[in-house]
Chains A and B, each alone.
Chain A
Amino acid sequence: MLNYIVRRVLYAIPTLIGVLLVTWFLFFKTASPEVIARRNLSSRAPTQAQIQSWIKGHGYDKPPLDQLQNSTLDMMRFRFGKSDATKEDILERVKKGVVPSFTIGFNSFVATVFFAVIFAAIAAYFRGTYVDTMTTVICVIGMSLVYMIYIIGFQFLFCKILKLGPTWGFNPDENLIKYILIPTIIGVVAGLATEIRLYRTFLLEEINLDYVRTARAKGVAEPAVLLKHVLKNALIPIITNTVAVLPGLILGSLLLENFFGIPGLGSYLVEAISANDFTVVRAMVFLGTLLYIVGLILTDIAYALVDPRVRLS
């Protein structure tokens, strides 16, 4: 088992290196330094001198291998440098933003998977009836809505009409819950539709298998058949797929923090985009990828733990 974990982590390293190569290529090689400098300084009609100093300052004039080395090693050591726009240290800002973003993200993740399993089980139990059909219809519509609509709609409902929480703002000294409750709820609702449909499919794939028939032949009652026998097997693909929730959390972080004024990693990135702040964007892309890769590794480990066929080999 430990063997498996170690191997999995080792596999991740060349992937991470590949990602760094890709981002380096993306940010340094797909446009000439001039163009990038211009884009970055676009708000302030730059002079040729400003452009040159920007290029020097950001190391775009060094030979490619140096660039590669610096940016790669810097990234890995979390030496992100300073923001182009605000000149503040990126790592410091990241550290401050971690708490709100992770709180919302982690809670959304757990709650989404939890509720998705519950609703999927209900739909699977009542398969073929109107409960099931209604669930599918709602989910298909839910999958077709833009994320922003969820936020706008529920923010309006919860904050303006029901006044359950603040529309905007964040105070780290106060009780976190007040500020993150509604964003978390919206994050969950936005992500539920796809997951419910997916888990329902996993459950229904298992229900027609032979071992379920054996369980019924033994005299096991229908609810137990679903919740004990089917669910345990369906958990394998479910767990493997939880990693797909992560990109949704990142997107949620970008949009929710923007709408609710929460100073997390997401809003940091959104600000950087408006300011054409390449350095920050590079750092955030790296961070996001790192998190995702960690998520993939954790999912693989969880999968190995849940499936006895893998665990014992």
Chain B
Amino acid sequence: MGNPLLPLQLWLDDHPVLQNWLYNLVPVLVIVLLALALRQGLKQPIWAEAARRIRRRPAALWAIGIIGFYGLIAFSDSIGLYDAKKQERVSLLDAISRREKERYYSAPLATMTTGEAFPKPLKEKHILGTDGKGDDVLYQTLKGARTAFIIGGLTSLLTIPVGIILGLLSGFYSGTKYKWIDDLITYIYTVISSIPSILLQIAFVMVLGKGIFQICIALGMARWVGLCRQVRGETLRHREREYVRGARALGVSTWGILTRHILPNLLPTVIIFTTLGISGLILSEAILSYLGVGVGDGVGSWGNMINASRDELAREPILWWNLASASTAMLGIVLAFNLLGDALRDAIDPRLRS
């Protein structure tokens, strides 16, 4: 028995275009799902009230704006174009912001290289300077947006179904005739959550290898436990409510109860968990990349940029723009998701708990 994912990974590696499509599909899927959920949800007065509350919080609106802005950048990196001059496929983002590779470091808006004994003139203007390999810092930063969205989106897409299904089953059968289901699932998530998540993630990437898909699996494995626990708690709460008992008395099937009565009530939990989780996922990717078990070279990511900037601060003069750019970009999106998650939690939770 080997790595169950290996065939899939190898196949993906052999079909880079399709792999690309998969990654591009993810943000689209996420947005479509969100829009559907929103449209469905807004019909209910509870959600309309929640939306109203969010609209009144400026921080949340800014957050949505920032996420949208980053999303746009990520999306532009997903649109494929054909560069006839260079005869290769590039993305829209590439077409707009890619710059010539220089020889060496250069400061933002500088005309000569920095840190060399004999500075040479630059081929192009670099708004945020270049890094050690001569690549434009702004360009790399922008490329990182797509990676962040994929990591956040794909991991969430993997985590959510697993967390919901296992949590539902576990909570629903708790204490009943089939309580072994609950015991088993509880045991599994207790075991997995006993391993500190950073260690679990490191172990997974070491075994599966570096890469975006592998990171998503590694991050997801540590993540689903949290959702499963919360979903289980919510299921237990709702299971005892009168309307569920009433439905059973009326003869509604188990499946019916799960999907029509309990599942909709899990939605707020899932949404809040996911939104707040994405910021953690993006931060985790940076940390894993820094430790050398990240997305791997060749993929533009803010974690790789920070990793590369390790030695730059010790130099004279200090080369700070690589680090500053990557961390600011990351701070922006992480802060936005944190603010949005907080606003959602305040808007949705008390409403439904009262």
Min CB distance B195 to A, Å, is: 5
Q: How far is the CA of A156 from the CA of B323 in the complex (A)?
A: 13
B335: chain A residues at CB < 8 Å are 140-141, 144
The total of chain B residues at the interface (CB under 8 A) is 44
Contact A144 B338 (CB under 8 A): yes
Report if B46 contacts A (CB, 8 A). no
Q: Which one of A22, A254, A276 contacts B291 once the chains associate, using CB atoms below 8 Å?
A: A254
Contact A292 B306 (CB under 8 A): no
Report if B290 contacts A (CB, 8 A). yes
B190: chain A residues at CB < 8 Å are 15, 18
B2: chain A residues at CB < 8 Å are 30-32, 35
Q: A22-B192, A35-B2, A140-B335 are in contact. Are A148 and B286 (CB under 8 A)?
A: yes
Q: A19-B195, A32-B2 are in contact. Are A273 and B206 (CB under 8 A)?
A: yes
Min CB distance A85 to B, Å, is: 13
Q: How far is the CA of A254 from the CA of B198 in the complex (A)?
A: 10
Binds B, one of A94-102, A233-241, A283-291: A283-291
The total of chain A residues at the interface (CB under 8 A) is 49
Contact B293 A273 (CB under 8 A): yes
Question: What is the chain A residue whose CB lies nearest that of B331?
Answer: A144
Question: What is the chain B residue whose CB lies nearest that of A14?
Answer: B187
Contact A31 B194 (CB under 8 A): no
Contact B3 A250 (CB under 8 A): no
Secondary structure class of chain B's binding surface, majority of residues: helix
Report if A278 contacts B (CB, 8 A). yes
Interface 1/0 per residue, B140-166 and A, CB below 8 Å: 000000000000000000000000000
Q: How far is the CA of A276 from the CA of B327 in the complex (A)?
A: 28
Report if B191 contacts A (CB, 8 A). yes
Report if A251 contacts B (CB, 8 A). yes
Q: Which one of B1, B196, B287, B334 contacts A246 once the chains associate, using CB atoms below 8 Å?
A: B196
Interface 1/0 per residue, B48-78 and A, CB below 8 Å: 0000000000000000000000000000000
Min CB distance A290 to B, Å, is: 9
Min CB distance B154 to A, Å, is: 19
Min CB distance A17 to B, Å, is: 9
Q: A146-B327, A284-B199 are in contact. Are A15 and B191 (CB under 8 A)?
A: yes
Contact B198 A27 (CB under 8 A): no
Report if B296 contacts A (CB, 8 A). no
Min CB distance A78 to B, Å, is: 17
Contact A292 B195 (CB under 8 A): yes
Contact B206 A276 (CB under 8 A): yes
Q: A144-B279, A289-B199, A292-B196 are in contact. Are A36 and B338 (CB under 8 A)?
A: no
Contact B194 A273 (CB under 8 A): no
Report if A164 contacts B (CB, 8 A). no
Question: What is the chain B residue whose CB lies nearest that of A291?
Answer: B196
Q: Which one of A19, A35, A146, A289 contacts B287 once the chains associate, using CB atoms below 8 Å?
A: A146
Contact B330 A146 (CB under 8 A): yes
Q: A250-B196, A251-B198, A289-B195 are in contact. Are A146 and B283 (CB under 8 A)?
A: yes
CB-contacts of B318-354 with A (<8 A): 323, 327, 330-331, 334-335, 338-339, 342
**Residue picked from A15, A30, A143, most chain B C-beta under 10 Å:** A30
Report if A296 contacts B (CB, 8 A). yes
Interface 1/0 per residue, B281-293 and A, CB below 8 Å: 0010011001111
**Residue picked from A21, A31, A35, A246, most chain B C-beta under 10 Å:** A31
B323: chain A residues at CB < 8 Å are 152
A270: chain B residues at CB < 8 Å are 291-292
Report if B96 contacts A (CB, 8 A). no
Q: How far is the CA of A18 from the CA of B306 in the complex (A)?
A: 36
Report if B244 contacts A (CB, 8 A). no
Q: A140-B342, A144-B335, A250-B199 are in contact. Are A19 and B306 (CB under 8 A)?
A: no
Q: How far is the CA of A18 from the CA of B194 in the complex (A)?
A: 10
CB-contacts of A1-18 with B (<8 A): 14-16, 18
Report if B203 contacts A (CB, 8 A). yes
Q: A39-B209, A149-B327, A254-B291 are in contact. Are A31 and B6 (CB under 8 A)?
A: yes
A-B contact pairs, 26 of them (CB 8 A): A14-B187, A15-B190, A27-B203, A30-B2, A30-B3, A32-B3, A36-B207, A39-B206, A140-B338, A140-B342, A148-B287, A148-B306, A148-B327, A156-B313, A251-B287, A254-B198, A254-B291, A270-B291, A273-B206, A273-B292, A273-B293, A278-B206, A285-B200, A288-B199, A292-B195, A293-B194
* Chain B interface (Cβ < 8 Å from any Cβ of A): 1-6, 187-188, 190-192, 194-200, 202-204, 206-209, 279, 283, 286-287, 290-293, 306, 313, 323, 327, 330-331, 334-335, 338-339, 342
Given contacts A15-B191, A292-B194, 17 further A-B contacts (CB under 8 A): A18-B187, A18-B188, A19-B194, A26-B204, A30-B208, A31-B207, A32-B2, A39-B207, A140-B342, A144-B338, A145-B327, A148-B327, A250-B199, A285-B203, A288-B199, A289-B195, A296-B194
